[in-house]
Structure 1
């Protein structure tokens, strides 16, 4: 196997045996009575067969088995442990501990999640408290949205996403997203990119269940602020990929593109798994004035059954002057993912401009 095709270590190896040893040693450093052998025996059992999130939960349970059973006392130890852990993702075991063992002490636990989030994130754990007492948790998170710390502000948005990946869905917010509007409204011009990404992803989540609600909100925004414009563009990305006319209009591309497609190609035409394709399209404006173009491409992947399934990719957004020509290109590697396996056959590729297919080309994936 060459370096180019060699698989990267599994994500679950964040919690490998060396990391478990590190956690044990650092916990013992702040709590000398910590029983390192018992902890390691607990968290290492059947480790190879555990997923990433199962390993994370196993560590939190292992800490609970070896720390004082008084919750407040254990939290004091975990507060001291947080800055000593050598991985931001590994610190997620601390909010997980809170979710598992702190639901009886709501206020103390929510403050702990706020404290832990700058070290990694409390986005998964806080959802348990939203499910436990939605009004009370959401009220605190509305205050977090105005915090000086960008990590805390992000937690207010990320933790309340209705469809947060790797977590359970918040059905209440999938049915009615309006309770989180004060949080999102507070953050729609945030000066932190870290926060803005979360807000955009949150709105994009909502478009899966309530697209009209999202469009109603963003249509009322002033996009003069570049931070707000950035959020709007990324929040509407799924709707734009679907050619939603309202979303395209908000982004200034609701009109039909007045262009001539002079060249579209994919090279090479015959590729093998692991190869890269180069997509190129040349456009010339036929309009009498400048126009905004949102250019995407839809790749029709061949399925095992022989049918196809399309996935839309962003290509470029640009303003094309009257009579101006432009060449837009993109390189993409054809490789397998855990979420997509490629099959040999003819893969068609559509050029989408302002939501309409204006050209089509293809390449053949061969064995």
Structure 2
């Protein structure tokens, strides 16, 4: 599979330069391509993104207002997606002294390539002023802009730096979340849930108290609350379990826990199954998960919990549960040779595990 960084390749830059040459008659496309590709092989995905912004700045007018005008002229003809993050990244790098113009540009560019990373540079510089703008974005008619209000202010946005002030005082984003808690767009609701999930990692009590005040009968709000609580539920947090009436006093037994093999190679599939039996004389609402304790490069293990199913187990009921797990390197996970462990979890508590080997 081609590395993600190849999104920024020679063919991309030829098209990119052509678009800017059309938007600005003084733009030297040939010189830009030569400069931006000079050390391309040495750069990572994010390195190529940043290099594009910096090199673009060298070939655009030095006046930020004039440069932004060129970006607006080029934007409709650029490819959408990750490579379009060049536009908000440029604003983040060079627009700090032009706050109002930069805010408008990030709002406009976010539908082409999300401005979620760029806006954080302004939050870092002036949190309150930037949040005030983002609160208005939470009511925008464009769902991309509404999502930006939530996603950009997440305390722990992946691939970005933490917002320590919001981690210390999560109520700073309450107004944004309140405005989006019934949003009709799944794209926005997922961001709100992820924002709340971020909060739960540092301020569990605050996050739960906030959600308890929301109308759970609204299906959009209910989905957000459930998705936002996933990390806490996997950990067996009693307060979050009670939000959804999951059983606190779990009484179950695990039998016939089996793997198809005990030695796997990268690219092979693990299959496991087990029997889950109720040991209680009343029904139990359960969330069944499994965890893989992955071997790390250091030889230690790192636990990752995966969802299996939710079920109401009747008194004395026995069910068979099975699952397949493919061992494949991802952009978010690299496998290492060594001892691994698969563990069955019910309402956040471990109920048996099996060790196996993985060769990479």
Give 3-state SS (helix, strand or coil) of 2:110's partner: helix
Structure 2: distance between partners of 1:45 and 1:326:
61
Q: What per-residue deviation string (whole Å, max 9, x for no partner) do you get for residues 333-363 of structure 1?
A: 1234564432233x33221111222233343
Structure 2: distance between partners of 1:199 and 1:167:
17
Give 3-state SS (helix, strand or coil) of 1:365's partner: strand
Match of 1:53 in 2: 46
Contact 2:295 2:335 in 1 (8 A): no
Give 3-state SS (helix, strand or coil) of 1:119's partner: coil
Give 3-state SS (helix, strand or coil) of 2:354's partner: strand
Match of 1:277 in 2: 270
Structure 1: distance between partners of 2:125 and 2:336:
42
Q: What per-residue deviation string (whole Å, max 9, x for no partner) do you get for residues 319-341 of structure 1?
A: 33445443332211123456443
Unaligned stretches of 5+ in structure 1? Answer: 1-7
Write the mapping of 1:262-341 to structure 2, written as runs, cut at 5 A. Answer: 262-303=255-296, 306-337=299-330, 339-341=333-335
Write the mapping of 1:49-88 to structure 2, written as runs, cut at 5 A. Answer: 49-88=42-81
Match of 2:352 in 1: 359
Q: What per-residue deviation string (whole Å, max 9, x for no partner) do you get for residues 215-248 of structure 1?
A: 2212333322222222222212222222211122
Q: Is the counterpart of residue 93 in structure 1 residue 57 in structure 2?
A: no
Contact 2:235 2:349 in 1 (8 A): no
Identify which of 203, 210, 217 aligns with 1:210. 203
Structure 2: distance between partners of 1:280 and 1:81:
55
Contact 2:64 2:95 in 1 (8 A): yes
Q: Is the counterpart of residue 247 in structure 1 residue 240 in structure 2?
A: yes
Give 3-state SS (helix, strand or coil) of 2:267's partner: coil
Give 3-state SS (helix, strand or coil) of 1:310's partner: strand
Identify which of 112, 125, 144 aligns with 1:132. 125
Structure 1: distance between partners of 2:266 and 2:64:
53
Identify which of 5, 13, 21 aligns with 2:6. 13
Q: Is the counterpart of residue 106 in structure 1 residue 99 in structure 2?
A: yes
Contact 1:266 1:362 in 2 (8 A): no
Question: Offset at 1:275?
Answer: 0.9
Structure 2: distance between partners of 1:195 and 1:176:
23
Give 3-state SS (helix, strand or coil) of 2:120's partner: helix
Structure 2: distance between partners of 1:220 and 1:213:
11
Q: Is the counterpart of residue 344 in structure 1 residue 338 in structure 2?
A: yes
Q: What per-residue deviation string (whole Å, max 9, x for no partner) do you get for residues 283-335 of structure 1?
A: 23344554321111122234455543332222212233445443332211123
Give 3-state SS (helix, strand or coil) of 2:25's partner: coil
Write the mapping of 1:147-158 to structure 2, written as runs, cut at 5 A. Answer: 147-158=140-151
Q: Is the counterpart of residue 40 in structure 1 residue 41 in structure 2?
A: no
Question: Offset at 1:73?
Answer: 2.1
Count of aligned pairs: 359
Cα 1:128/1:214, change in 2 over 3 Å: same
Contact 1:285 1:323 in 2 (8 A): yes
TM-score (norm 2): 0.93
Q: What per-residue deviation string (whole Å, max 9, x for no partner) do you get for residues 55-109 of structure 1?
A: 1111112222222222222212211211211231111101111111111111111
Match of 2:169 in 1: 176
Q: What per-residue deviation string (whole Å, max 9, x for no partner) do you get for residues 185-239 of structure 1?
A: 1112211111111111111111222122112212333322222222222212222
Q: Is the counterpart of residue 163 in structure 1 residue 156 in structure 2?
A: yes
TM-score (norm 1): 0.91
Structure 1: distance between partners of 2:21 and 2:296:
52
